Amino acid sequence: MQKDAQVCVVGKVFKPNRLKVLALNRTFNEYFRLVKWYLSFNSKSKSFLHENCYEKAKELFNLNTALIQTARDKAVEILKSFEKVKEKNSILRPKRISMRFDRRCYRFSKTTNVLTPYWLTLSLNRRERVSLPVAFGEKQKQRIEEALRGGWEFTTVEMVKRDGQWYAHFILKKSVEVPDEPETVITIDRGEHNLAVAVAISKSNPNKPIKGRFWRGQEIKQIRGLYGHIRRKLQEKSRVGKVKELKGKERRKVDQQLHIIANQIIAYAKQFPKPVIVMENLNGIRQNFKKSKKLNKRFHSLPFRKLQIYIEHKALLEGIEVRYLTKKETRNTSKTCHRCGHVAQVKGRMFKCPKCGMEYDRDLNACINIAHGVMSSMGWGSCEPPEPADEGIGAKPTPNAGSPQASTVGSSLELFPPS
């Protein structure tokens, strides 16, 4: 089966001259004004906006027609994602947007100039066009070279302004082959006590989960704790600008950790034959927050959603498909005993089944339940209760042998040695 994989390669606009920066800034203001103008029609239909507003937009805004169209798409995207997460009485106020250039309004090429070989030419409006030198980091350069050789298709370029500096985000696409019939189901779930939990189930022995692994997200907790503390101190002194700057820094540090974890999860999945990654669909997650305010989940949910996105991108690059489960399919997974199917209340870190007596790490139990659900929908194995897999180790992990309490980000807890 063919799937589209996407990557984003970021380059920095390298020492542009002042006039070019001014032209970019001017265009950006115009573009932002246009996005807000489109938003004022409060429509999520691209065709409605095109039929009713496009001609007017061409009169009112001095922008390239391709930019007028991407601004419309942006407005629709902003509105859709706002409605997904909106809370009562909240007002949509777009703050940070990027400018999207599609194939009709940019050109990217490599020249023989040694210092700045990469040049991005943007059509801004009917008369204006700027050519900008772009510099890449080592890894990004490799990918952009790959793309220039035809290994990737150039789609759009998002121009992003951060701290007064312009960056070009190249969105590249290619088609990858993923197995039609996977042989291993890898479930990645968020837990109550862990940022993420993974378990694998193989087609050849579907009644026995193979390997559990935990990512506690300790580093992320620390980053957040630290920045939260500094922010409170600054707020006392009313230094709003500084607070904002720190927010960005904190986000980038958290992202970095999430990338590390996502890479480890992909490496985990890759050790199994023909893996497919399965995760819970977390759309509309804000609503859950209200119900579970006191739970740790609230703390972990947002980074976990981001983690899912990173996992999905990275997995596709390795030819691993990612599937999402509906809410219905993941219902009660945390309260159900994965061995006997009994539904019980859970307290603390361990799931203790009042019916069959099984004691199990709570997050891993939920993860195994999700895997079982997927498994039966794929027609693997029976609906018989699963074998009591390696209980001696699985049921009561000893603290020193890598229990979830003792493990840190990325540490492995091999409850079930691969058979």
- Minimum separation from the CB atom of position 404 to Zn ion (A): 20
Q: Which residues bind Zn ion (CB under 5 A)?
A: 337, 339-340, 342, 353, 355-356, 358
Indicate the residue among 386 and 410 with the shorter CB distance to Zn ion: 386
How far is 134 from 23, CA to CA, in rounded Å? 17
Q: How far is the CB of 247 from Zn ion (least distance, A)?
A: 45
CB 362, min distance to Zn ion, A: 13
Q: Are 323 and 277 in contact (CB under 8 A)?
A: yes
Q: For 193, list phi and psi in degrees, rounded to 5.
A: -115, 0
Closer CB to Zn ion, 115 or 383, in the complex: 383
Shortest CB 296 distance to Zn ion, Å: 24
Task: Compute the least distance from the CB of residue 388 to Zn ion, in Å.
Answer: 9
Q: Minimum distance from CB of 386 to Zn ion (Å)?
A: 11
Nearer to Zn ion, 273 or 357 (CB): 357
With contact defined as beta carbons under 8 Å apart, do 217 and 303 qualify? yes
Which lies closer to Zn ion via its Cβ, residue 52 or residue 382? 382
d(CA 403, CA 394): 10
Nearer to Zn ion, 295 or 343 (CB): 343
In whole angstroms, the minimum distance from the beta carbon of 191 to Zn ion comes to: 19
Give every CB contact of residue 295 below 8 A, 6+ residues apart in sequence.
192
Closest approach of Zn ion to the CB of residue 354, in Å: 8
Instruction: Return the number of the residue (182 or 397) whose C-beta is nearest Zn ion.
Output: 397
| Choice between 207 and 263, CB closer to Zn ion | 207
- Closer residue to Zn ion (CB): 36 or 342: 342
CB 365 → Zn ion: shortest distance, Å? 10
Task: Tell me how far, at minimum, the Cβ of 337 lies from Zn ion, in Å.
Answer: 3
Give the shortest CB-212-to-Zn ion separation in angstroms: 18
Write down the residue that tokens 């390239």 correspond to: 64
Report the residue number, 187 or 365, with the smaller CB distance to Zn ion: 365
Sign, Cα dihedral of 151, 156, 161, 165: positive
3-state secondary structure labels for all residues of the chain:
CEEEEEEEEEEEECCCCHHHHHHHHHHHHHHHHHHHHHHCCCCCCHHHHHHHHHHHHHHHCCCCHHHHHHHHHHHHHHHHHHHHHCCCCCCCCCCCCCEEECCCCEEEEECCCCCCCEEEEEECCCCCEEEEEEECCHHHHHHHHHHHCCCCEEEEEEEEEECCEEEEEEEEEEEEECCCCCCEEEEEECCCCCCEEEEEEECCCCCCCCCEEEECCHHHHHHHHHHHHHHHHHHHCCCHHHHHHHHHHHHHHHHHHHHHHHHHHHHHHHCCCCEEEEEECCCCHHHHHHHCCCCHHHHHHHHHHHHHHHHHHHHHHCCCEEEEECCHHHCCCCCECCCCCCECCCCCCEEECCCCCCEEEHHHHHHHHHHHHHHHHCCCCCCCCCCCCCHHHHCCCCHHHCCCCCCCCCCCCCCCCCC
Nearer to Zn ion, 339 or 372 (CB): 339
Between 97 and 353, CB nearer to Zn ion? 353
Phi, psi angles (nearest 5°) of residue 156: -115, 165
